[in-house]
Structure 1
Amino acid sequence: MYAVIKTGGKQYRVQPGDVIVVEKLDGDTGADITFDDVLMLGGDKGVTLGAPLVAGASVAASLVETRKGEKIKVFKKIRRQGYRRTNGHRQMESVLRITGISGKDENAKWDGKAETLTLAEKNARARGLAPRVEAEAPKAKAKPAAQSEIAETEAKAPKAEAKTTETKKAAAPKTAKAETAEKPAAKKAPAKKADKAGDDA
């Protein structure tokens, strides 16, 4: 189940367990936040569009941290006047984890299994640069083959190799012209230059 919410003048598509970065919200770390501005809901029962909001729908989230975003450089210049100004700005932002989505017909909650992420992975996930990796089902181990089957496969392998070598030998022999064309042309030895000292004498 997923939802599209509106906060800070922007829209976000969220699912339970997602980590998103939004404009700064009031609250301490670990505080619970509820979004009532739900524009769309999607789930097993279909998609519900709001006009403009979905009535009775809400998204619950917990505040992971409040931090400064990446630095933005502001550079001003007036040519031929010697005017240059460089400033930097870091916008305050809140990192949220979506804990649940509730609608009229169905609800969805995060199972609470925290993922172990490094700071770089956390930042990439929060900015939407790294997709969520679903846990893969363990692959079944191949059963060891019986000794008789192994012996049979080894006995068949040399015969197959012999057939391929015989077919190569049976191929038509190359003509004399083709052989001469394949050989690189012989390089001529450079002519020896007479010593200038011997000529002068």
Structure 2
Amino acid sequence: MLAVIKTGGKQYIIKPGDLLKVEKIEGEVGDIVEINEVLLVKTDKEIKIGTPLVENAKVRASIVEQGKAPKVIVFKKKPKKGYKRKKGHRQLYTTIEIKEIIV
């Protein structure tokens, strides 16, 4: 079984048992979350393509980790003008494990 889900503005191809790093989802480690934005579901017999979402399809996943990505430095400079700006950013993420795909 295979599915395409949308979360955090991005699309992911998943199957049960996958570990996935997505944008932050509220919850504690060990919580079960349901993702309702399922765009495509492929089973052994058929493929269901949503317009834009597959009706009554859900993905259940458990939260494995809440964390922060490594720091990214944003540096802006305009030559000969004395303008410099340095800023850092750490993106929050959630690691989830896909438990089941419900059609």
Question: Gaps (5+ residues) in structure 2?
Answer: none
How far apart are residue 54 of structure 1 and its match? 0.7
Runs of 4+ in 1 over 3 A off after TM superposition: none
Corresponding position of 1:9: 9
For 2:46 and 2:55, the matched residues in 1 are separated by 16
How far apart are residue 84 of structure 1 and its match? 1.9
Corresponding position of 2:40: 40
User: Within 5 A, what are the aligned runs for 1:53-92?
Assistant: 53-92=53-92
Greater strand fraction, Structure 1 or Structure 2: 2
For 1:71 and 1:2, the matched residues in 2 are separated by 33
When the two structures are superposed, what TM-score results if normalisation uses the length of structure 2?
Answer: 0.95
When the two structures are superposed, what TM-score results if normalisation uses the length of structure 1?
Answer: 0.50
User: Rg larger in 1 or in 2?
Assistant: 1
User: Within 5 A, what are the aligned runs for 1:141-156?
Assistant: none
Residue 99 of structure 2 is aligned to residue 102 of structure 1 = no
CA RMSD of aligned residues (A): 0.9
Corresponding position of 1:162: none
Greater helix fraction, Structure 1 or Structure 2: 1
Q: Show CA shifts across 1:34-57 (max 9, x none).
A: 011110001201211001111111
For 2:82 and 2:56, the matched residues in 1 are separated by 59
Name the SS of the counterpart of 1:70 in structure 2. coil
For 1:34 and 1:71, the matched residues in 2 are separated by 29
Corresponding position of 1:27: 27
May I ask how many residue pairs the two structures share in their alignment?
103
Of structures 1 and 2, the one with the larger relative CO (CA 8 A, separation 6+) is 2
